[in-house]
Amino acid sequence: MSDSLYEILVESLPDDPMHVEVRGLLFGAAELRLIGDPREPAASGFVMVPRYGLAVGYGAPSVDLLGSLRVAASESGRARDGLKLHLTLECAEAWLAQEGVANLGRNVVQTFQGGEPFERLPSLIQHDARILPDPSEALLATLPSDAAAEFAILKPWPAVACTVALDRIASIAYAFVETETYFDISIDTFQAFRREGHGTSCAAALILHQQERARRPVWIANERSRASLALSNRLGFEEVGQVQAALLE
């Protein structure tokens, strides 16, 4: 069922900001588990990537899939750390009512509307911003250990940008997932370099790089993350919707 379900999902899921995660995971993740609703698997279910500890819902998956998710999390070794869930608001209330499902708040989905935000980006790059085309880049050795571990599992290597200060990476951003039209930005600015504009410069550099590849940015920030929302606002992102974040404990 997985092969046929994969083909159906690739064909049916729209290429838009609200589906960038689930569609991007289908296209780019090296290891997937598809957990479709037994009654209508093409209409609702989860795309799970054990390596990331993440299961992104499509449609309005039923809470009847809770057991299947727990089994999949256990088999993949994610049961101890928990499995992150991203759910459409249509089914969020039912999932949050289940035992062992913790509410992590809503994720705000944002993108650029029109071309004006792109035009502002060059002026926002105030630091030494660089594109890192492959995982052999020497600068990656300057990453803190937790960030280095995150980048070590990225396969295939995505679009990556960074800013450099004092001969080390100050901020780093990459395309977590990518579709034919959109990409989702993941970014981190390290403690010693925060509040200096590195995040803005880094994100702007990545967006401009991806614009050359005809990809438009999507910024997904948790409603509780003031810093991420403030950064997306400076860059010119506008909200297009929300999804529910949860943790299957």
Could you read off the pLDDT of 137-154 as tens digits, one per residue? 999 999 999 999 999 988
CATH code assigned to 111-241:
3.40.630.30
- What is the predicted pLDDT for the residue at 28? 86
Could you read off the pLDDT of 213-247 as tens digits, one per residue? 999 999 999 999 999 999 999 999 999 999 999 99
pLDDT at 184 over 70: yes
- What is the predicted pLDDT for the residue at 3? 79
**H/E element holding 193?**
none
Q: Where are the domains of the chain?
A: 2-107, 111-241
- Comparing C-alpha atoms, which of 115, 96, 114 is closest to residue 105? 96
Name the band, by pLDDT with cuts 50, 70 and 90, for residue 155: confident
CA distance 161 to 147: 14
pLDDT at 1 over 70: no
Average pLDDT over residues 193-217: 98
- Comparing C-alpha atoms, which of 208, 185, 224 is closest to residue 103? 224
Average pLDDT over residues 53-74: 96
Average pLDDT over residues 119-133: 98
Average pLDDT over residues 95-104: 98
- What is the predicted pLDDT for the residue at 76? 87
pLDDT at 48 over 70: yes
More confident residue, 28 or 1: 28
Could you read off the pLDDT of 2-23 as tens digits, one per residue? 679 999 999 999 999 999 999 9
* Cα-based angle 19, 24, 28 (whole degrees, multiple of 5): 170
CA 137 to chain centre: 23
- Residue 67: left (phi > 0), alpha (psi -120 to 50), or beta? alpha
160-165 and 168-178 strand pairing: antiparallel
- What is the predicted pLDDT for the residue at 106? 99
The mean of the pLDDT values for the chain is 95
CA distance 112 to 157: 24
Written as one letter, the residue type at 127 is H
CA distance 249 to 233: 32
Query: Where does the chain show beta strands of DSSP type E?
Result: 33-36, 45-49, 54-58, 83-87, 101-111, 128-131, 160-165, 168-178, 182-189, 216-222, 238-248
148: number of CA atoms within 13 Å, CB side? 12
CA distance 42 to 109: 23
- What is the predicted pLDDT for the residue at 30? 67
Instruction: Extract the tokens encoding 226.
Output: 């003031």
